[in-house]
Chains A and B, each alone.
Chain A
Amino acid sequence: MNDAHGKLSDPATWLDQHGDSLYRFALLRVRNPTTAEDLVQETLLAAWRAKENFAGQATERTWLIAILKNKLIDHFRRNSRETPLPDIADTDDAIDALFAEHTDHWAHPPTAWSRPDDALEQAEFWRVFQDCLAGLPARQAQVFTLTEVDGLSTEELCKALAAQPSNVWVMLHRARLRLRECLEQRWFGATAENR
């Protein structure tokens, strides 16, 4: 029950206290409710079997999330063996539209964002960010989340997804272009006008 004393509660209590957090964490990365539910179950079972390893330094939740991360990597490996990452298309219409047709220069050059640090403190910004992230094609969102949110290196990512580095870079780049565009349209561009 109490993290403070480094003691663990039982799995049913974990489910009550951390089930939703684990589920959200998984859902963001797999984008499939059933898979996310299965991962929560696997995580709690694995945690219970490995309860001796709980060092008592981390909180229960941090410990459970760490186990979930391993389960996620296993899941991606399994998945990529079954359905390998397709060679990504050379062209992506939405991305091409960001650049002028013949010169490949910006069709609408990115503009200066005012006070991005302030945005991080605003709940509304995080809703916009989550919307933008959810609006990405699934693979791009996955690659972005694993790299930027979870801090996986390109090498680790390629291994987990059984993908070529060049594929991963292009996907990451497209994800960043899309996210940037979305944030500029929905937040940084919009608020500059309103202020």
Chain B
Amino acid sequence: MLSCKEVSLLLSKACDQDLPWRQRLAVRLHLLYCRGCTQFEKHLQVLRAVARRFAQSDDQAGMATLSTTARNRIRAALQRD
């Protein structure tokens, strides 16, 4: 019997590659009676959807901006080139 800790790792792994059928079966059996892991599997899908949407958004690291010093240094480097 797999623990939730093991199943959660396998569910996470399954986001990125196909699991061997024995593991897939063991996970499915566990999910039949485990509500926590069933939710976890759904949440992994939400995380993926969130990340995909985030990829399209324009302000990814919040409101961080280039400092004036950095901007001037880059401008100077561009002019040298």
Please give the residue numbers on chain A whose beta carbons come within 8 Å of chain B beta carbons, in ascending order.
11-12, 15, 19-21, 23-25, 27-28, 33, 37, 40-41, 44-45, 48-49, 99, 103-106, 109-113, 116-117, 119-120, 126-127, 129-130, 144-145, 147-151, 153-154, 169-170, 172-173, 176-177, 179-180, 183-184
Within 8 A of A (CB), among B35-68: 35-37, 39-40, 42-44, 46-55, 57-62, 64-67
Q: B8 in the interface, Cβ–Cβ < 8 Å?
A: yes
Given the known A-B contacts A15-B75, A129-B54, are A28 and B4 also in contact in the complex, defined by CB atoms under 8 Å? no
**Which chain A positions have C-beta within 8 A of B3?**
99, 103-105
The residue in B42, B54, B74 that gathers the most chain A C-beta atoms within 10 A of its C-beta is: B74
The answer on a CB contact under 8 Å between B4 and A153 is no
Query: Majority SS of interface residues in chain B?
Result: helix
The answer on a CB contact under 8 Å between B78 and A37 is no
The answer on a CB contact under 8 Å between A37 and B74 is yes
Measured CA separation A79–B54 after assembly (Å):
26
Query: Majority SS of interface residues in chain A?
Result: helix
**Which chain B positions have C-beta within 8 A of A180?**
40, 43-44, 47
The 8 Å CB contact of A104, one of B4, B49, B71, B77, is: B4
Measured CA separation A96–B50 after assembly (Å):
25
* Total residues of chain B contacting the partner, CB 8 A: 48
**Which chain A positions have C-beta within 8 A of B55?**
149-151
Say how far B43's CB is from chain A's closest CB, in angstroms.
Answer: 5
The 8 Å CB contact of A148, one of B9, B42, B52, B62, is: B52
The 8 Å CB contact of B9, one of A23, A25, A27, A169, is: A169
Q: Which residue of A lies closest to B63 (CB)?
A: A24
Q: B73 in the interface, Cβ–Cβ < 8 Å?
A: yes
The answer on a CB contact under 8 Å between B57 and A12 is no
Give 9 new A-B contacts, CB below 8 A, not counting A149-B51, A149-B55, A183-B43: A23-B65, A27-B61, A27-B64, A40-B66, A103-B3, A116-B50, A173-B9, A176-B12, A179-B47
**Which chain B positions have C-beta within 8 A of A117?**
49
Measured CA separation A49–B80 after assembly (Å):
13
The answer on a CB contact under 8 Å between A20 and B43 is no
Measured CA separation A58–B59 after assembly (Å):
19
